[in-house]
Amino acid sequence: MQKVIRGRGSLRKLPDLMKKTGITKPLIIGGQLAGKVRQIPGLEAAPVFSGYQPNPNLSDAPLGAEQYTRYGCDGILSIGGGSAIDTAKAVKACLSAPFQAVRENRLPDASPIRHIAIPGTAGSGAEATANAVVYENETKKSLSGAILLPEAVVLDASLLETLPDYHKKSCALDALSQGIESYWSAAATDDSRVHAYLAILGVLDNLKAYLAGDPHAADEMLDASYQSGKAIYLTRTTAAHAMSYQLTKKLGLAHGHACFVTLPVLWDWMTERGDEQIGGIMAELSSVMRLGDPRMGSRLLRGIMIDLGMKIPDMPDRDLLNALVDSVNPERLGNHPMKLTREDLREIYIRAFLPLEPNAAQACLDIWNYYGGQKNGGEEGN
């Protein structure tokens, strides 16, 4: 079980958490937020590893492991978004197994190295999982193993205050997408659906207030993100995530933005083409989201995108479209509740890139404005 401390200002409790976790000489892994950790008494001189990329490259991890060894560290503190936390997991893997074994995802069952994760975004939920997404030669790799689950987590929403607006929005979409995908996943369980439920409603009920700067809403969003991580740790993600990675690499979309490009189309695909069992799942999910009709789900998701100003990219040319289709990881698709062929993927991408007619776009926005307004005392949405 992870040790978790919550609440605004809880970063100040880090020394006590380190003591309980057994860390005395940490390596800090993070970018700009690493300075927040070094302001804590006793950590002013702690070494910092920031030599990683926004989409972590596996080759970065041995550099972090070398710095850990050089400074005689006995634990890791990661602070930032999913990139920082996943890099920390990869560094821990490299300190626990030979690099070739890490490349092949052959990790030991246990490691003496302790890791405290401090998320600086409300989105990835990486602090709650034993998985890490890294790239090697432009190809996405997934590391997975019990040793990658951080031993402790600090959820301090004050760290979200300096996050750029676009990344606040994209991270929120990532958490919502993870909740939805986990809920409909072929691997879903009663337990995973509890976490998915908390993630979905946590985002939907707090998104507008969070983006307007409400501190309580930020607390709720950070917890929703954590719940989304716990959900996908149990189920893994599905087609929207599988189809998103090269949208980030090739088109420059932030991860949550990229997931939401295809998520509404996938919702329609299952509602329109699913069998009786999938129809039941979509009806249940719609009920969880307080929608009277499953057909409203994709419109709500599109309305959120429109309200947040998250643009859909232009239709790619044939070569790029084929590259996107070919990049989709079959393992992730195996977790999707419906079998999707290569031609299905191609059609889903094409539908996702098609612009909405003005009237259809306005209808989607109206659904979200009504929905969001109802969550804010009946006031009209933006």
User: 259 in a domain, yes or no?
Assistant: yes
Does 339 share its domain with 214?
Answer: yes
* pLDDT at position 292: 84
92: exposed, middle or buried (Cβ count in 10 Å: 0-12, 13-18, 19+):
buried
Q: What's the rounded Cα separation, in Å, for the pair 38 and 212?
A: 29
Report, as an integer, the average pLDDT of 142-161.
97
Instruction: Residue 94: give its domain's CATH number.
Output: 3.40.50.1970
User: 380 in a domain, yes or no?
Assistant: no
Does 292 share its domain with 328?
Answer: yes
Q: Which of 113, 144, 160 is the last residue of a domain?
A: 160
User: 381 in a domain, yes or no?
Assistant: no
User: 113 in a domain, yes or no?
Assistant: yes
Does 242 share its domain with 341?
Answer: yes
pLDDT above 50: residue 382: no
Structure tokens at 155: 């959820």
Coil/strand/helix, residue 29: strand
* pLDDT at position 374: 57
Report, as an integer, the average pLDDT of 81-90.
96
Instruction: Residue 180: give its domain's CATH number.
Output: 1.20.1090.10
DSSP 8-state code for residue 57: B
pLDDT digits (tens, 9 = 90+) for 187-220: 999 999 999 999 999 999 999 999 999 999 999 9
Cα 72 off chain centre by: 32
Does 121 share its domain with 214?
Answer: no
User: 75 in a domain, yes or no?
Assistant: yes
Structure tokens at 180: 């939805």
Does 227 share its domain with 148?
Answer: no
Report, as an integer, the average pLDDT of 315-323.
96
If one compares 380 and 87, the residue with the highest pLDDT of the two is 87
Q: Which of 160, 188, 211 is the last residue of a domain?
A: 160
Does 152 share its domain with 181?
Answer: no
317: exposed, middle or buried (Cβ count in 10 Å: 0-12, 13-18, 19+):
exposed
Does 54 share its domain with 186?
Answer: no
- Look over the chain and give the mean of its residue pLDDT values, rounded to a whole number: 94
User: 333 in a domain, yes or no?
Assistant: yes
User: 382 in a domain, yes or no?
Assistant: no
Q: What's the rounded Cα separation, in Å, for the pair 102 and 33?
A: 27
**H or E element, residue 324:** helix 318-327
pLDDT above 90: residue 45: yes
Does 198 share its domain with 99?
Answer: no
β-bridge pairing 139-144 and 131-136: antiparallel
- How many separate domains does the chain show? 2
pLDDT digits (tens, 9 = 90+) for 246-265: 999 899 999 999 999 999 99
Q: Which of 160, 180, 205 is the last residue of a domain?
A: 160
Structure tokens at 104: 């092949």
Does 212 share its domain with 118?
Answer: no
Structure tokens at 82: 């999913």
User: 379 in a domain, yes or no?
Assistant: no
Q: What's the rounded Cα separation, in Å, for the pair 382 and 365?
A: 9
Does 195 share its domain with 59?
Answer: no
* pLDDT at position 375: 56
Does 118 share its domain with 198?
Answer: no
Residue 324 is part of which domain span? 165-374
DSSP 8-state code for residue 185: -
pLDDT digits (tens, 9 = 90+) for 214-247: 999 999 999 999 999 999 999 999 999 999 999 9
Q: What's the rounded Cα separation, in Å, for the pair 247 and 245?
A: 5
Q: What is the number of alpha carbons within 13 Å of residue 312 lying toward its C-beta?
A: 24
Does 14 share its domain with 34?
Answer: yes
Q: Are 266 and 301 in contact (CB under 8 A)?
A: no
